[in-house]
């Protein structure tokens, strides 16, 4: 009876506020049916208001579910936001991506499902980063869908965790269920020429032969209008040492039967739109184009929205000249057919590790008095792209601006890159790079030293090219800056206000150098000699410490990193900040530091008596909209979460319009990645993804509720 009263009250409030119809808002039922709360990935529940500013400080821990019982080792990262339906939470945990069902009131584990071990699981580079599951109802039955690190798709009964009967195809491996599963690899490679030319029989235990590449998955599928859309992952582009790989084509399956319905080629074949953007016949052997971030969907339009990363190999792109569609793109596909409805490429010929890190956010806006079905895409660069999600047209103009070109023999860089004219970037430094206004100026002496350091480098913006080593320039290296977010800090939005929130961090660093390999492949697996890249990235840099990282092997040229000044970065720090935008106007509403200024700044001997503006801490912000609150904490990937005087991590309730902290509580474990909320038996719960190696509780869930 309580639940019926709650639903009626919320539906009345929904009609009063006028939430856009494109999203299936969790607040209409008190459920959280998608990884991002709704099909539009807003990660918000603006109509759940039992917890508010007046009682937030009274929240208590209802239960803690510990992921370390499921192989979540000390390095495990909790990125799987649960879904909540009909009294149970569903998520994945651990390296094996075990699927778990959890009682919403007690935190008790109701059932678990774990895929049998295979060789292709053991060689998966992304077993640690499962982001969750998909949920749908099929003929009145709840079904949980999950893609495993070994790249199998499973359909499980939501009540029992058992594989669905008469679904999918039998896998010829011991201990595998004869139903409820699809081996995705045969469908992926069925029309791929390198596989058609391969003479050996297919081995379901090993998957794609190493000589041809590898494939995995990170984000879960999404179910839209009865179709399960499967996303793809690979070895990260910055770790790859060969340019041959299997493309990460997007595939659709019937949610009821598991039948393969369609496939979209992310690297266009001859005759397909965008094929001409792959020069030198690179489409024949280039691969990757993963979809790391989760997908969004508009069921009314029948569209699913996905984002992609670059192709192989990342740092040198001379073997794949051209804009390389559909890499670095937002894709809108017809969910019935898999056909491209529209796309927008947010960067051309990507080679900076600027893979799109967050799911597209869908909102219904009012722009210049006109209703606009919008898609908002945040980036690692700090640029914010606002598009009409029905047509793909920019809401405000986007300019193609010239960028500095490569000096590496045989390499390729696009002549221009797209820059939105509105909204302004998350961090203003990304517009023109490390100009004078961003140079450290706590004291005149420090600024003079910083300017001396910078005089030895060529300083620019987002798309500074990599230099060859050796080179003949009169500067040491190119320096570029970015100011965006990354995968563990997804952006969110409030459909009732049109406000979007995104965390960001300023980073300026010297690029890797590219070193000639003379055609010798520096392959780090047992298979070598396939590739003949002309150049290989040699050094990467941790900009805030100045330490160098050699990702392939030691040796090579001396480092070209951007030196520190008396232990401080040469640029003004903005270690962690949170921005809010009114997306109806594209106006930035506010930008606030998150976390405390680090002790190494506050206690620096050269800064005694200097009024240092707040820098933010080093842990980036994670947040969720809940009622009138912006609930926010800082992540703890590196042990750098915000803590109070008792050394305990904090969870804040902020005013969602101003960012002002209204109330705060201690939490037992630092947050990671995201949060969710739901109503169950008349009580509202707030669930944090949490984890801390220091506290021996990685990969946990912490549920909070009122007494």
For 578-592, give the DSSP string: EEEEETTTTEEEEEE
Whether the per-residue pLDDT at 9 is higher than 50: the answer is no
Q: Which segments of 497-607 does DSSP mark as H helices, in order? A: 599-602
The DSSP-derived string for 341-393 is EEEEESSSS--SS----SPPEEEEEEETTEEEEEEEEE-SSS-EEEEETTT--
Helix (H) or strand (E) holding 14: helix 2-17
Q: Quick check: 365 pLDDT over 60?
A: yes
Q: For the chain, what percent of residues have pLDDT higher than 70?
A: 85
Q: Which residue has the tokens 């970037």?
A: 425
Residue 22 confidence (pLDDT) above 50? no
Please indicate, yes or no, whether the overall pTM of this predicted structure exceeds 0.75. Answer: yes
Residue 345, CA distances (Å) to 289, 330, 356, 432, 543 in order = 13, 6, 10, 21, 28
Q: What percent of the chain has pLDDT over 90?
A: 64
Evaluate if residue 239 carries a pLDDT over 70: no
What's residue 319's pLDDT?
84
DSSP line for 97-112:
TEEEEEETTT--EEEE
pLDDT at position 212, please? 87
Measured in whole angstroms, the distance separating CA 43 from the mean position of its chain's CA atoms is 13
First to last CA, the chain: 21
Residues 141, 161: Cα–Cα separation, whole Å: 12
Number of domains the chain is built from: 1
Tokens 């319905």 correspond to 261
Asked if the model's pLDDT at residue 36 lies above 90, the reply is yes
- Give the pLDDT of residue 76: 52
Residue 629 confidence (pLDDT) above 50 = yes
Q: Is residue 527's pLDDT more than 80? A: no
Mean pLDDT of 591-608: 90
Which residue's entry shows tokens 């563990």? Answer: 488
601: left (phi over 0), alpha (psi -120 to 50) or beta: alpha
pLDDT of the residue at 698: 67
Residue 315 has pLDDT above 50, yes or no: yes
What does the alpha-carbon distance between residue 666 and residue 675 come to, in Å, rounded to a whole number? 16
Is residue 122 classed as helix, strand or coil in its secondary structure?
A: helix
The arithmetic mean of pLDDT across residues 62-67, rounded, is 91
Where does the pLDDT of residue 28 fall: very low under 50, low under 70, confident under 90, or very high at 90 and above? low
H helix count then E strand count, the chain? 7, 41
Q: What is the CATH number of the domain that holds 444?
A: 2.140.10.10
Provide the Cα torsion 107, 112, 118, 121; round to 10°: -30
The residue ranking higher by pLDDT, 104 or 467, is: 104
**CA distances (Å), origin 386, targets 307, 421, 484, 582:** 14, 10, 15, 12
Q: What is the mean pLDDT of the chain?
A: 86
530 burial via Cβ count (<10 Å: 0-12, 13-18, 19+): middle
Q: What is the DSSP track for 469-493? A: SS---SSS-EEEEE----TTS--EE
Q: Which structural domain, as residue segments, surrounds residue 341?
A: 2-705
pLDDT reported for residue 384 = 98
């Amino acid at each position: 009876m309580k639940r019926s009263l709650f639903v009626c009250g919320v539906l009345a409030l929904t009609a009063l506020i006028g939430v856009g119809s494109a999203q299936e808002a969790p607040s209409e039922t008190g459920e959280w049916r998608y990884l991002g709360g709704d099909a539009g990935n807003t990660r918000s529940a603006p109509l759940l208001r039992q917890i508010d500013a007046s009682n937030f400080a009274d929240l208590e821990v209802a239960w803690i579910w510990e992921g370390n019982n499921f192989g979540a080792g000390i390095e495990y990262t909790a990125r799987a936001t649960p879904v909540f339906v009909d009294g149970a939470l569903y998520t994945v945990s651990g390296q094996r991506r075990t699927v778990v069902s959890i009682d919403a009131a007690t935190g008790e584990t109701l059932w678990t499902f774990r895929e049998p071990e295979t060789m292709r699981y053991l060689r998966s580079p992304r077993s640690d980063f499962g982001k969750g599951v998909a949920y749908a109802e099929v003929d009145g039955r709840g079904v949980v869908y999950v893609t495993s690190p070994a790249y199998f798709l499973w359909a499980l009964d939501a009540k029992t965790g058992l594989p669905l009967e008469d679904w999918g195809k039998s896998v010829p491996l011991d201990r595998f269920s004869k139903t409820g599963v699809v081996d995705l690899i045969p469908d992926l490679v069925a029309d791929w020429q390198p596989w058609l030319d391969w003479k050996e029989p297919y081995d379901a235990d090993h998957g794609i032969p190493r000589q041809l590449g590898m494939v995995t998955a990170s984000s879960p599928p999404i179910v839209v209008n009865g179709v399960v859309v499967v996303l793809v992952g690979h070895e990260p582009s910055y770790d790859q040492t060969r340019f041959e790989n299997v493309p990460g084509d997007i595939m659709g399956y019937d949610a009821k039967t598991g039948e393969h319905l369609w496939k979209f080629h992310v690297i266009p074949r001859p005759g397909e739109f965008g094929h001409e953007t792959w020069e030198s016949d690179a489409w024949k052997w280039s691969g990757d184009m993963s979809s790391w971030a989760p997908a969004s969907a508009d069921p009314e339009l029948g569209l699913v929205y996905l984002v992609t990363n670059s192709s192989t190999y990342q740092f040198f792109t001379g073997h794949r000249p051209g804009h390389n569609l559909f890499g670095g793109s937002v894709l809108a596909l017809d969910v019935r057919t898999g056909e491209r409805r529209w796309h927008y490429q947010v960067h051309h010929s990507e080679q900076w590790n600027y893979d799109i890190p967050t799911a597209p956010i869908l909102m219904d806006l009012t722009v210049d008095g006109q209703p606009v079905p919008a898609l908002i895409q945040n980036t690692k660069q700090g640029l914010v792209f606002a598009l009409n999600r029905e047509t793909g047209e920019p809401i405000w103009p986007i300019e193609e601006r010239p960028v500095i070109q490569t000096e590496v023999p045989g390499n390729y860089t696009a002549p221009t890159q797209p820059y939105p004219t509105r909204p302004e970037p998350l961090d203003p430094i990304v517009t023109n790079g490390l100009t004078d206004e961003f140079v450290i100026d706590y004291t005149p002496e420090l600024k003079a030293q910083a300017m001396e350091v910078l005089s030895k480098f060529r300083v620019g913006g987002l798309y500074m090219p990599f230099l060859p080593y050796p080179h003949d320039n009169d500067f040491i290296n190119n320096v570029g800056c970015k100011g965006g977010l990354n995968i563990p800090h997804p952006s969110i939005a409030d459909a009732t206000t049109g406000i979007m929130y995104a965390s960001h961090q300023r980073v300026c660093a010297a690029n890797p150098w590219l070193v000639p390999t003379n055609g010798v492949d520096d392959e780090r697996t047992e298979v070598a000699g396939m590739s003949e890249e002309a150049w290989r990235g040699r050094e990467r840099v941790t900009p805030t410490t100045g330490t160098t990282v050699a990702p392939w092997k030691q040796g090579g040229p001396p480092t070209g990193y951007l030196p520190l000044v008396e232990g401080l970065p040469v640029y003004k720090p903005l270690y962690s900040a949170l921005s809010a935008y009114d997306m109806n106007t594209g106006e930035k509403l506010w930008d606030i530091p998150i976390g405390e200024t680090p002790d190494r700044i506050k206690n620096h001997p050269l800064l005694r008596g200097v009024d240092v503006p707040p820098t933010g801490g080093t842990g980036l912000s994670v947040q969720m909209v809940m009622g009138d609150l912006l609930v926010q904490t800082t992540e703890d990937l590196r042990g750098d979460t915000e803590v109070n005087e008792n050394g305990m991590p904090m969870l804040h309730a902020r005013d969602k319009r101003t960012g002002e902290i209204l109330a705060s509580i201690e939490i037992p474990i630092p947050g990671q990645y995201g949060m969710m909320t739901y109503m169950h038996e008349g009580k509202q719960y707030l669930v944090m993804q949490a984890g801390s190696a220091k506290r021996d509780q990685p990969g946990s869930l912490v549920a909070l509720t009122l007494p």
